[in-house]
Amino acid sequence: MIGDTLAGDLVAAAPPSVPNDLVTGDGRRRVAFVPNVLQELADHFAALDRLRAEWQAEIASLEAAGMYEAIPAESWENRNGGGRYLRLVFPQHDGQRRKVYIGAYPSAIAEARAKIERRKRWEELTCNLARLAHTLNVAERELTTTALGLRLALRDWGQ
């Protein structure tokens, strides 16, 4: 088992200046948890990879369903003293503010609002993907640093 081998290696590799109780006793208990931690890490990475795949699939379906290029504000107006008409006002881009007339039909309003909701969800998911990528990069860097530290310790002790 990985933990048993590592525990034996650490006991054998301990330099004479290291007190024996740091490597044996409590040290063995510390090393015995390694297989559990490795399994837990593997489980976490697999779960995060599944989550990433789910998010990417949902992003693809949102894009296929159609959405606006940004989240617009709703602007309601009356024309000729009549009913209420929906117009979407988009954030300014290159000095221009795009406006899209939707109208008063409930189905057109519902479709416009659905596109807005898809865009909001798309932005949430893309933000989550970026955060996940950063988290995984940090975890990979930390694990690599830990492995390198242990490798250098063994090398310094003649292993």
How far, in Å, CA of 30 to CA of 45, rounded? 23
101: burial class by Cβ within 10 Å (0-12, 13-18, 19+)? exposed
Per-residue pLDDT tens digits of the chain, which is 159 residues long: 444 444 444 444 444 444 444 455 555 666 677 788 889 999 999 999 999 999 999 999 999 999 998 998 888 877 665 558 888 898 988 888 888 899 888 999 999 999 999 999 999 999 999 999 999 999 999 999 998 998 898 888 876
Task: Give SS3 for 85.
Answer: strand
Neighbours of 115 (CB within 10 A): 19
Cα angle, residue 126 at apex, residues 122 and 132 outer, rounded to 5°: 145
Question: How long a stretch of residues is the chain?
Answer: 159
Helices and strands (H, E) in the chain, number of each type: 5, 3
Name the pTM for this structure.
Answer: 0.70
- Please name the residue that has the structure tokens 């959405």: 67
Q: Please, what sign has the CA dihedral across residues 100, 68, 121, 137?
A: negative
Cβ 70 vs Cβ 119: under 8 Å: yes
